[in-house]
Structure 1
Amino acid sequence: MGDVDEMLHRSGRTARAAVGRLEDSTALDGPAEVVRRVAQAVLRPRTVSAVLRGVPAGHAAHPPLTDVPIGLWFSASALDLLAPVTGRRAADRLVGLGVLAAAPTALSGLADWETSERRDPAVRRVGVVHGVANLAALGLYTTSWVLRRRGHRAAGVLVGLAGGTFLGVGGYLGGHLALVRHAPHHDPLATTTVERVATGVRRTTTRGPATDAFEGVPLDETKRSTTDHGEIRTWIEAQGGRPALIPPLGPHEVPVPAAIFPSGPSGSGAVPATWQEWFDAFDRGGLAFVRPAQLTQAPPFFELAQA
């Protein structure tokens, strides 16, 4: 049993190392930028964005949708191999249904990726490869369906099996994104809290020493914005602050990130939290951290806005 356990662990380490190389590959950032532009165009209509992100379901739509084309396509391959004569008509229909089901599945995955890739470069890069693998699978299964319809059944079956290979790679990377990288980071029902923060009703205000600890993205001449976890933590700690959370007001809201400074908490009702809890709430709310460009005269403060 010891040899078997070691073999299994070695296999897992090899697979994780391969994905780690994808996570670190800056060469994928260029293609990711192209995908981001496509995603922003597709998700521009608010209703489309809400549906694809899973608002009607109460959680991300992509994970359960993936079961549909995967189940249909692998069932078709099973019939191709185990019942090549009696199951051929059912197999052909399953392939076609899988092609139809792949469209909403891919679009919901694009929505999840667009939400998370801004905060996690690893999600950005692995997500691109995940999408390419699944698109390759879709292309092969579509070709398989066309070949079957034209009477080239043997070729259609082989092309479908090739599609299953790409589907397996895409599924593995999707599992890594969900279980290891915890993507998507956004809670689709966190809109109430986000809107309240974005409009300033629950703005967090600091009163620490005037320290400019990092450079963010300029909003105007007075404020800078970032979603980078390291920069946010550096800035808050430079003011002598510690992470805190304001408890949610309702069951469908997430806690509001705040901070406790030497002069007091940055928000009413803030309670101490870990940085992990702080950034979990920050990511789930889809927030951006806004702080003054310079802290020279007015008391320093930070705000949370919709990213």
Structure 2
Amino acid sequence: MVRRNRAFYASVAPFFAIFVAFSIFPVVFSFYLGLSDWDGFSEPEFVGLANYSRALQDPVFQKAIWNTLYLWFWSTILTVGLALGLAVMVNEYVLGGKTYFRLVFLLPLLVAPAIAAILLRVFFTSNGGIVNMLVGAAQGQPSYFNWLASEFWIKPLVVLLVIWRWTGWHMIIFLAGLQSIPRDIYEAARMDGVGRWAIFSRITLPLLFPSLAFSIITATLGGVQMFDEPFVLTQGQGGTNNSTTTLGMYLYATAFSQFDFGLGAAVSWYIFAAVVAFTLLHRSITKRLGA
């Protein structure tokens, strides 16, 4: 059987070899590392669940969990809400040129996170920043407030960066969902005297739920794994007192700065567990709502 089909097996063998080498092996090896103490040079030493316990007891890891939840919640709520509002306005009030709006709102995704963070730092830098100039002009005296060093304000700045980059992408999803809703439904509702808010809440939102659910779960998965925006905005430092250190940044610091690959692997499995939990929760909610 194998000899007869050796040409077929030879043609598919490279794919399976690459899949095992770059997909299966890293997963298995990371699970092994999570149970080991390894600095990348010496022989790995089996330590069981010590890395998982050590991560939970680390105050920086606990703060990274809180930061991740904070950034995920506000970035998801604001990004999805703003994207939905923009999609509704474009769909209702823009008769022509919808392709132009899609292009314009997708442009931020073409800007590298490092460039976007540099631009944001120019706006909020303490010495000569545009925002401080406006604040100084409003209060009648120069302002030198260090926004980027503030434990409170650095989080909203990260959220602002996420909103700027991803609102357009979510808007495209909602716009596609809105355009798939038959116009006859709206016309029948208006003939029956149904108001705009009732049409939106009782017709648009229920029919748009699949797009809304997809948008929320993708934003959630991105929020749990958030790395680029806080990393480049704080230049890899995590802000004052780790005020913007996320789980992704904590993993990077432990594995590639401290060379504690065992702890880094354990953290990666915590992130994986969070992603699976959110995915299962999304699936359960969509099943109950019949989406």
Q: Same fold (TM over 0.5)?
A: no
Which structure carries more relative contact order (alpha carbon 8 Å, separation 6+)?
A: 2
Per the normalisation by structure 1, the TM-score is: 0.27
Per the normalisation by structure 2, the TM-score is: 0.29
